Structure 1
Amino acid sequence: MIEDLFDLEQVTSQKSVIHSLDARVKIIVCCAAIVGLVAVPYSLIVYEVAAILFGLFLVLWALSRLSPMVYFRRLLLALPFGFMLCGFQIFFKNRYYTEYHPIIELPFGVTIFSESVEFATILLIKFLVCYSFIVLLSSTSSLQDLLEAAGRLKVPPELILALGMMIRYLFVFGIIYRRVTDALKTRLFDPFDHRLPYRYRILNMGYMMGSMFIRSLEQGERTYASMLCRGYGRDSYIYIRNKPLLSADIVFLGICLLIIILAPLICWFDPIQMFCFLPR
């Protein structure tokens, strides 16, 4: 996973309609889709709203001209956490239901209820759709563009500076990790080699983690010293130039926000029934 860090922004340099949009537009659309879906109450209406928003995501992904493998590879990184978070919900009752119907009786007094399974399914669907928009945002906007867009959206400069330093140091940590692993390979050490004793592999992996921690700490001190030499201080912030939104960006933002706002409203209020009860 750390090896894929250096290929993180390769897909952001491609040319497409979505790539050429202002990063502020993509951030607003992503946040609006997440808030719009999370705000929907835990009921069966979530399936319909999620289907509409996921259809919007598929259209935007098709316009970005990115391979589906990019999406699935990044989805697999977070999918275990999502399954673990949602999987535990089937064993507990929650406050969104008043009646519970058991479907499976397990040993040690553990009972799985149909309402708990329904809640876990709704939670998983929300997670998948929200994370899909995050993947779209990170796959079509570089990290520097996202930082500058956050600054133009009036995010506190202290937070932007901290995020910028974290992102830059993340790649430094990746370089240190590559050096340590290359040193182990030159010594013909493979932590997944079952011919080596398990205790020996664990011991050397502990040495490797300790070495990475010490090297990262030393690199952090050197980086901070070099920043002080270049005039870094408590009032140092990332320079962000003004950039007006184009008319195409505004139109795209308006269309996406309209779809995101109307999706839960259409699913919640059936337009056919509303038309039948209108006064004639």
Structure 2
Amino acid sequence: MIEHLATIERDAQGTSRVHCLDARVKIIITFAAIISMVAMPYSTAVYPLALCWFALFVVWWSLTDLSPRVFFWRYLMTLPFGLFIIIFQIFFENPYYDVFTPIVTFPFGISIYAQSVEFASILALKFTACIIWVILLSSTTPMEDLLQGARRLGFPSVMALSLGMMIRYLFVFAEMYADINDALAVRHFSAFSRALPYRYRIKILAYTIGTMFLRSYEQGERTYTAMLCRGYGKDTYEHLEKKALTGGEYILIISMIVLFCATFTGVVLFWA
């Protein structure tokens, strides 16, 4: 999974109409979509709202010139972060329902409730409807542009610097991992190969992890020194060049916010 980090930055360098938008526009639209979805109460009204969000996302993604396969792969990469919590919801009673109807009963008093399954589906839709906009933002905005756009919107300079350093080292770490993984593959080593003794595989993996930590530390020192020599320091994001949004970008931001608010209000009133 970590080998595909570089492809995210590569795809973000595109030239589509969405790629060419100012990072601030995409950040505001992403936050507006997430906030409006999070604000929706946990009820079946989430279903039509999520459907509207998906339809709107499809329109935006079609303008990026990126294939649907790219989106599905990145969505699958995010699933482990929310899938575990969502699945476990079906086994618990939650405060959003008064009555619980068991569907399946297991030993030790464990049951799957119909209401909990409904709640898990609502939670899954909320998670998906939020994460797809984050995927759109990350797939069409280079990391440096994203940090500069956030800083122009008032994001603290220290936090922008910290995130910038983390992102830089994340890609360095990914390259190191790829090199070491290739070296092990050339030597016909596989951590899942039953042909090799279990203790030997654990030993090699321990050496590999230690090597990656040492190389990351050494590379981090060299990279940080080189960045300081080039003027990259704590004041890097303090004095960015002023960049005004165009009239069309303002209209796009206002139109999307109005659309989100109108859709949210319409769904709430209709479902009420």
> Could you tell me the TM-score, scaled by structure 1's length?
0.91
Deviations, residues 185-244 of structure 1 (Å, cap 9, x unaligned): 343322233321222212211110111112112222333344455566555546521111
Q: Offset of 1:150 from its aligned partner?
A: 0.4
Deviations, residues 160-205 of structure 1 (Å, cap 9, x unaligned): 0001111111111122212322332343322233321222212211
Question: 8 Å contact 1:53–1:263 — kept in the other structure?
Answer: no
Secondary structure of 1:111's partner?
A: strand
**Corresponding residue for 1:32?**
32
Aligned pair 1:5/2:14, yes or no? no
Deviations, residues 247-273 of structure 1 (Å, cap 9, x unaligned): 1211211221111111121011139x9
**Corresponding residue for 2:161?**
161
Aligned pair 1:252/2:255, yes or no? no
**Corresponding residue for 2:192?**
192
Deviations, residues 134-174 of structure 1 (Å, cap 9, x unaligned): 11111111111101100110100000000111111111112
Distance 1:11 1:251 in 2: 26
**Corresponding residue for 1:277?**
none
AA aligned to 2:195 is R
Distance 2:233 2:61 in 1: 41
Distance 1:83 1:236 in 2: 38
Question: 8 Å contact 1:16–1:63 — kept in the other structure?
Answer: yes
Identical positions, percent: 47
Runs of 4+ deviating beyond 4 Å: 227-236
Deviates more, 1:159-168 or 1:170-179: 170-179
Q: Offset of 1:124 from its aligned partner?
A: 0.3
**Corresponding residue for 2:222?**
222
Question: 8 Å contact 1:33–1:130 — kept in the other structure?
Answer: yes
> Could you tell me the TM-score, scaled by structure 2's length?
0.93
Deviates more, 1:150-159 or 1:97-106: 97-106
Deviates more, 1:81-90 or 1:156-165: 81-90
Secondary structure of 2:112's partner?
A: strand
Alpha-carbon RMSD across the aligned residues, in angstroms, is: 1.9
Relative to structure 1, is the Cα distance of residues 39 and 143 closer, same or farther in structure 2, using a 3 angstrom cutoff?
A: same
Aligned pair 1:264/2:267, yes or no? no
5+ long unaligned stretches in structure 2 = none
AA aligned to 2:45 is I
Question: 8 Å contact 1:161–1:238 — kept in the other structure?
Answer: no
**Corresponding residue for 2:71?**
71
AA aligned to 1:68 is P
Distance 1:101 1:198 in 2: 46
Relative to structure 1, is the Cα distance of residues 146 and 49 closer, same or farther in structure 2, using a 3 angstrom cutoff?
A: same
AA aligned to 2:161 is L
Secondary structure of 1:9's partner?
A: helix
Aligned pair 1:182/2:182, yes or no? yes
Q: Offset of 1:15 from its aligned partner?
A: 2.1
5+ long unaligned stretches in structure 1 = 274-280
Secondary structure of 1:64's partner?
A: coil
